[in-house]
Amino acid sequence: MHTKYAFAFIYIVLLYYNIVIWIYKCSKMTKKPKIVKIPGKLDEQLRQFEDLFTKPIFENFSYMASAIMACTGSKNIQNLHGTISDTCEDKKDYQTYRYFFNKAKWDENEVAQKKADLFFKAVGAKKGKRILIIIDDTFNEKKGEKTFGVGWFWDHKVKKHIWANNIVTSAIQCKDYFIPHKAVLYVKEEDVEKWDVEFKKKHEIAYGEFIKPLEVPPRANPYVVVDAAYFNKGFIDNCRSNPNHYHVLGRIKSNLIIIQDDGSEINVKDYFKKEFKKEDPKKVTINVRGKTKTYWIVETVVNLKSIGKCKIVASKKELDDEKAKYYGGTDIVLSGKAILSIYGE
């Protein structure tokens, strides 16, 4: 385990219950909470991971997991160590927890799989149930230059470069329930020598670190839900050839090329601009995170260059809007409404 996987560990140890009743003691309510002992309810859940560690490493795992939940500051090793009260009989020195993250022999994939298995069991993810593996990336802004992987990244939300860590994240959803899965820091190609790591594209991280190691229930109906940056030939080919035969669904770029029946090529934007004129757009209403939303859509199965057959949906909030948003998926049986609903979840 390397410090760079600390973010992944934070995601891994979060339990699958909607609410964890966290009991702690502190001398005054105005002070930050301190762990003096792992509460029985929490210990009972953590014990389900016990077979993945040696006894001393499991004890460190339990206290680090508890500290992550209780720590009110940045989740670095120093703060996590400080969250454990000095009166705690089981507290180890700072270097012990540093060793846990850096060199201790335990496998984050095994921990993540155990958590996923517990989740699948709890929500009843059986044959035919739709399971979503949701991939996204986010930023954690920084000030200093020594944090692993830090660099300048373009943030589309604020439309400027920011000094930050860029983290590729994943979550698992079944029905209305979801859990964080894993997370890995992305390092830009020009910075890999500085940080002494192998360069991997974001979609390579997503497949190799999150999807490939994951086992889903037999005969489940798994989809990988992504943003436009991940909807490409390499990622889709890997997902479709995986033993779980993942379908890929998500936003797509307007400049992707469609090969028409006569062999001519046209980009997605221009293709659907014509489709909105000649087709009768459908009005669909979906529920997105508790909110009802209505869209005008045109949907069709197309042959995307280098990718193959996909169901593509173009949507507008108002029929006379100039710009549309585009969504696609490798499951051509899904309706346009279903594609929008799944992406919106």
Instruction: Share the mean pLDDT of the chain.
Output: 88
Q: Is the pLDDT of residue 189 over 60?
A: yes
| C-alpha to C-alpha distances, 33 to 22, 23, 42, 81, 110, nearest whole angstrom | 11, 10, 16, 12, 30
Residue scoring higher pLDDT (73 or 182): 182
Q: Is the pLDDT of residue 140 over 80?
A: yes
Q: Identify the burial level of 20 via C-beta atoms within 10 angstroms of its C-beta, where 0-12 means exposed, 13-18 middle and 19 or more buried.
A: middle
**Structural tokens at position 204:** 């390579």
Q: In the chain, what percentage of residues exceed pLDDT 70?
A: 91
Report the amino acid identity of residue 44: E
Per-residue pLDDT tens over the stretch 284-343: 999 877 789 999 999 999 999 999 999 999 999 998 898 999 999 999 999 999 999 999
84 has which bridge partners?
35
- Level-2 CATH architecture, domain 127-249: 2-Layer Sandwich (3.30)
Q: Is the pLDDT of residue 76 over 80?
A: yes
Per-residue pLDDT tens over the stretch 230-285: 999 999 999 999 999 999 999 999 999 999 999 999 999 999 999 998 878 999 99
Strands 221-226 and 130-141: parallel
Per-residue pLDDT tens over the stretch 6-60: 544 544 555 433 333 333 343 344 467 889 988 888 899 999 999 999 999 999 9
C-alpha 147/C-alpha 184 separation (Å) is: 14
Q: What is the pLDDT of residue 9?
A: 52
C-alpha 236/C-alpha 77 separation (Å) is: 37
Residue scoring higher pLDDT (6 or 125): 125
Q: What is the pLDDT of residue 30?
A: 43
Q: In the chain, what percentage of residues exceed pLDDT 90?
A: 73
**Structural tokens at position 320:** 């006379």
Q: Is the pLDDT of residue 119 over 90?
A: yes
| C-alpha to C-alpha distances, 277 to 193, 281, 310, 339, nearest whole angstrom | 52, 9, 21, 22
C-alpha 237/C-alpha 304 separation (Å) is: 13
SS3 labels along the chain: CCHHHHHHHHHHHCCCCCCCCCCCECCCCCCCCEECCCCHHHHHHHHHHHHHCCHHHHHHHHHHHHHHHHCCCCCCHHHHHHHECCCCCCCCCHHHHHHHHHCCCCCHHHHHHHHHHHHHHHHCCCCCCEEEEEEEEEEEECCCCCCCCCEEEEECCCCEEEEEEEEEEEEEEECCEEEEEEEEEECCHHHHHHHCCCCCCHHHHHHHHHHCCCCCCCCCEEEEEECHHHCCHHHHHHHHHCCCCCEEEEECCCCCEEECCCCCEEEHHHHHHHHHHHCCCEEEEEEECCEEEEEEEEEEEEEECCCEEEEEEEEECCCCCCCCEEEEECCCCCCHHHHHHHHHC
**Structural tokens at position 19:** 């609410």
Q: Is the pLDDT of residue 3 over 60?
A: no
Phi, psi at residue 32, to the nearest 5°?
-70, 145
Q: Where are the domains of the chain?
A: 3-102, 127-249, 253-344
Q: Identify the burial level of 132 via C-beta atoms within 10 angstroms of its C-beta, where 0-12 means exposed, 13-18 middle and 19 or more buried.
A: buried
Strands 160-174 and 257-259: unpaired
pTM, 2 dp: 0.87
Phi, psi at residue 241, to the nearest 5°?
-85, -10
